[in-house]
């Protein structure tokens, strides 16, 4: 891994390079013109984690960079600030370090610090230790929490101490609406909040005029897309395997006053079997699959993409919205999906500036017989 070098003056060029790369990579599928959504060039990432490196009486934030001349060797890079991270994280970094340096209790065997922030400045900080946490730690951490106006969680082996809250609430303005999202510590959330807003607006745009049909969403996470798309459809059925994410998705539906969504805790593979009538049980019966008329499926899979069986399942839907964090697995999946569907919208979201990573959005519509 190499640490991103942030140079705002070069941002337009790095985005243009990604535009050209993605355009060439997917040209054989004859997509429409690529829609490109730019990120803020710096301070765009709302969550980050750092190792804490101890040198005598000193300590500092650190990341590891692979030595290009010797890939087995990693160099320790000291970070006093981190332009990739949100301004709130950068404001907290020196203040937290000073507090740790001043407290033997808080710094002793501290291994890692994780920051989770929001656009409005709320912050949750997790301190990870290689030792049990006791009453003395909790007392000093409580004082630090008040001093820095943050929520603190302490972690060590088989121990998790939540001093105030285990989540923050993000508020995103999308299409003139304010969407509320509970974001839980140690659970997946979209790291680039401004690009997330762009993705939600794009997904809403490509699924308009769907109120006479239903949406099924696989890999729904904490309901990021579910919340934004619910009003476009008659009903939504969303599935997710993570218990924490399902609980958070339920909270987000309540927070946004959404009543036409059901979230089922089930893997994409299990759901596929349920649709075929090959799986039964309480969770399947609670979904009441017979009440849905699915026209659209949304998938936001992990970097590994979809397996061949899942791609074949998607081919049954009239419309597919595919959000991808890995263009290479997206390209592979499109080899199957484009046998039955054609690409009618194609987007590049610069979720991870200054890296080679790209987030893509694809709308596929079924070819006429």
- Active site residue ranges: 325, 359
Query: Within 10 A of 257 (CB to CB), how many other CB atoms are there?
Result: 7
Tally of residues, the chain = 369
Which tokens belong to 209? Answer: 């005029």
Asked if residue 156 lies in contact with residue 128, where contact means CB atoms within 8 angstroms, the answer is yes
Q: Residue 325's CB: how many other CB atoms inside 10 A?
A: 19
What's phi and psi for 293, nearest 5 deg? -125, 90
Q: Which residues are annotated as a binding site for S-adenosyl-L-methionine?
A: 190, 219, 224, 240, 300
Please state, as a whole number, how many other Cβ atoms lie within 10 Å of the Cβ of residue 78. Answer: 11
CB distance 105 to 143 below 8 Å = no
**Which string of DSSP letters, residue by residue, matches 269-313?**
HHHHHHHTT---SHHHHHH-GGG--EEEEEE---TT---HHHHHH
Binding residues: 190, 219, 224, 240, 300
User: What HEC string does 79-126 produce?
Assistant: ECCCCCECHHHHHHHHHHHHHHHCCHHHHCCEEEEEEEECCCCCEEEE
CA neighbor of 121 nearest in space, from 81, 148, 153, 154: 148
Nearest to 140 by CA among 104, 167, 112: 104
Q: Which of 359, 325, 300, 330 is nearest to 38 (CA)?
A: 359
Buried-state track 274-289, b at ≥16 Cβ within 10 A, e below 16: bbeeeeeeeebeebeb
Distance from C-alpha of 357 to C-alpha of 175, rounded to nearest angstrom:
27
How far apart CA 369 and CA 363 sit, in angstroms, is 19
């Amino acid at each position: 891994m190499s640490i991103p070098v942030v140079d705002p003056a070069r941002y337009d060029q790095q985005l243009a390079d990604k535009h050209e790369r993605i355009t060439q990579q997917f040209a054989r599928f004859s997509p429409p013109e690529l829609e490109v959504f730019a990120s803020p060039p710096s301070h765009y990432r709302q969550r980050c984690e750092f190792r804490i490196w101890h040198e005598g009486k000193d300590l500092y934030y650190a990341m590891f960079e692979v030595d290009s001349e010797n890939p087995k060797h990693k160099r320790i890079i000291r970070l006093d600030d981190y332009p990739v991270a949100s301004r709130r994280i950068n404001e907290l970094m020196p203040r937290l370090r000073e507090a740790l340096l001043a407290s033997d209790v808080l710094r002793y065997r501290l291994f890692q610090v994780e920051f989770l922030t929001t656009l409005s400045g709320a912050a949750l900080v997790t301190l990870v230790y290689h030792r049990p946490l006791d009453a003395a730690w909790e007392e000093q951490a409580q004082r630090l929490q008040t001093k820095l106006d943050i929520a603190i969680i302490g972690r060590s082996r088989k121990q998790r101490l939540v001093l105030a809250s285990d989540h923050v609430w993000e508020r995103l303005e999308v299409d003139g609406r304010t969407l509320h999202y509970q974001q839980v510590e140690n659970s997946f959330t979209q790291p680039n909040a401004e690009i997330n807003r762009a993705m939600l607006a794009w997904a809403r745009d490509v699924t308009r005029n769907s109120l006479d049909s239903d949406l099924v969403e696989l890999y729904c996470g904490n309901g990021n897309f579910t919340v934004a798309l619910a009003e476009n459809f008659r009903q939504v059925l969303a599935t997710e395997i993570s218990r924490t994410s399902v609980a958070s998705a339920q909270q987000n539906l309540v927070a946004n006053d959404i009543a036409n969504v059901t979230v089922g805790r089930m893997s994409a593979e299990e759901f596929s079997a349920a649709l075929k009538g090959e799986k039964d049980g309480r969770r399947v019966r609670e979904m009441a699959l017979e009440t849905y008329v699915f026209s659209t499926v949304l998938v936001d899979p992990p970097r590994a993409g979809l397996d061949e069986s899942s791609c074949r399942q998607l081919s049954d839907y009239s419309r597919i919205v595919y959000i991808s964090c890995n263009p290479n697995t997206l390209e592979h999946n499109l080899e199957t999906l484009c046998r039955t569907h054609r690409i009618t919208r194609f987007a590049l979201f610069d979720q991870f500036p200054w890296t080679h990573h790209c987030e893509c959005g694809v709308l596929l519509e079924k070819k006429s017989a």
